[in-house]
Amino acid sequence: MSLSTSLPQLHVQPFRFMDMPPELREMVYEYLVEDPYYPPPSTEATLSSPLLNWLMPSWPLQPAPEKKPKKGSWIFLASKQIYAEYIDVGCKKSTFHLSVSPANYPKSIPITTTPTASSTAVTSSPPGPIPAAQNLWTIAPDTLKQIRKCDIKLVITSPMLGVSDPRSMVPDSWALAHQVRAELRHVSKVQELNLHVKAIGDPLWNPLWVWYHATQSFKNMGTAPAPSAIPLLSPTFAPTSHPSTHSHSRSRSCSSRSCTPEKHHVDDPVGPKLNRITFSLDTWSPGENHLERDPSNQNEWAWFCTQGHCIGSDGGVDMPVREFCAKLYKECRACRPADWDDESEDDEA
């Protein structure tokens, strides 16, 4: 006798999903909900990085397995009520992943330079119309208002900064930062908002400039409006002026350090408040420290090592690039106490 014939036949009677108690429907939504990505990830298979191709050209490349969405997640298309309930659970339980890269931000941004005598003498035709700005993410304002957890990833190339020389750039005038603030102005209930800045290598640029300008542009988001003399959604602007929460073990609290308030001219949307700023490269890196709000110091910005030890307070929005680089790679006393003991002995000698 086979096992299939020995078991009693189960007759499942269909029932209306909306007849279930709200608590049970919410459990179904929690099982089906997935972290949303904006813009959606490409359906093309992802191969190994160019660095591995250069090191091992004969190594056969295997495409990464494509993650297929759960089929049951299409339940939100059944009715307006189910859609509203599903979106409400999704905003509360999932992590929204918002990315900015050359794929959804102009790859070629006009760069303004200081006119010279020779260039002004040449008669040129009037500039053409500025193309209309496009939104980075297509998300309804009502959905943005309900988001509880969000991770923003900036994949930045040097042209996306909009200047020919990073030393002449003012972080407050970065068009991309103003556009991100504008599109996040409806995010009002977020409990954890993290920013990750990935710098794409450039033969003529040090990636530290990308990290520095991104940090200084977004550091005060959610606490003070950013000065702006440009349209909120104008990715073609180029400045001409010169100048989780994730719990981590903390070995000690950081010393308090007040930030100098900025003077504002035209107020941009404040936007939500960041909890964490991390950094990476498109190639290997030695491991950079990151910025995180320190609860033992009134949630002011502080620098932490890769193991979560506080290594010092932040210099505020007016921090020079040299001090930023020093904080970025400062060694941790808790992780390498022997190095600090050797330095103290040398100082005494």
- 3-state secondary structure labels for all residues of the chain: CCHHHHCCCCCCCCCCHHHCCHHHHHHHHHHHCCCCEECCCCCCCCCCCHHHHHHCCCCCCCCCCCCCCCHHHHHHHCCHHHHHHHHHHHHHHCCEEEEECCCCCCCCCCCCCCCCHHHHHCCCCCCCCCCCCCCCCCCCHHHHHHCCEEEEEEEECHHHHCCCCHHHCCHHHCHHHHHHHHHCCCCCCCCEEEEEEEECCECCECHHHHHHHHHHHHCCCCCCCCECCCCCCCCCCCCCCCCCCCCCCCCCCCCCCCCCCCCCCCECCCCCCCCEEEEEECCCCCCCCEEEEEHHHCCEEEEECCCCCEEEECCCCCCCHHHHHHHHCCCCCCCCHHHHHHHHHHHHC
Residues 333 and 215 in one domain: yes
For the chain, how many structural domains are there in total?
2
Q: Contact 312/303 with Cβ under 8 angstroms?
A: yes
Judge whether 179 lies within some domain: yes
Residue 258 lies in a domain: no
The string of pLDDT tens digits covering residues 290-331 is 999 999 999 999 999 999 999 999 988 889 999 999 999 999
Please tell me the predicted confidence (pLDDT) of residue 343: 54
Q: 157 with 200: CB under 8 angstroms?
A: yes
Instruction: Give pLDDT, residue 117.
Output: 42
* Of 193 and 223, the one with more pLDDT: 193
Q: Check whether residue 86 and residue 102 sit in a common domain.
A: no
140 and 274 together in one domain: yes
Whether the pLDDT of residue 46 is over 60: the answer is: no
Mark whether 26 and 157 lie in a shared domain.
no
Residues 99 and 75 occupy one common structural domain: no
Is residue 58 situated within a structural domain?
no
Give domain status of residue 251, yes or no.
no
Q: Are residues 28 and 152 in the same domain?
A: no
Closest CA to 211 of 319, 335, 49: 319
152 and 24 share a domain? no
The confidence score (pLDDT) of residue 121 equals: 39
278 pLDDT more than 90: yes
Residue 284 above 90 pLDDT? Answer: no
Q: Is residue 50 part of a domain?
A: no
Q: pLDDT, tens digit, for every residue of 132-165?
A: 568 899 999 999 999 999 999 999 998 898 888 8
The pLDDT of residue 244 is above 60:
no
Residue 302 CB burial class (10 angstroms; 0-12, 13-18, ≥19): buried
- Do 102 and 78 have their domain in common? no
Q: Could you tell me if 199 and 348 lie in one domain?
A: yes
Quote the pTM value.
Answer: 0.72
Task: Give pLDDT tens digits for 324-336.
Answer: 999 999 999 988 7
In this model, does residue 30 exceed pLDDT 80? yes
**Are 151 and 28 in the same domain?**
no
Q: Please tell me whether residues 85 and 226 are part of one structural domain.
A: no
Domain residues for the domain of 297 are: 95-108+136-246+266-349
Q: What per-residue confidence (pLDDT) applies to 335?
A: 87
Does position 250 have pLDDT exceeding 50, yes or no?
Answer: no
Residues 182 and 319 in one domain: yes
Give the pLDDT score at 149: 97
Tell me what pLDDT residue 71 has: 61
Is the pLDDT at 263 greater than 60? The verdict is no
Question: Does residue 234 belong to any structural domain of this protein?
Answer: yes
Please indicate, yes or no, if residue 335 is contained in any of the structural domains. yes
Q: Which residue has the higher pLDDT, 86 or 108?
A: 86
Query: Does residue 114 form part of some domain?
Result: no
CA distance 324 to 315: 8
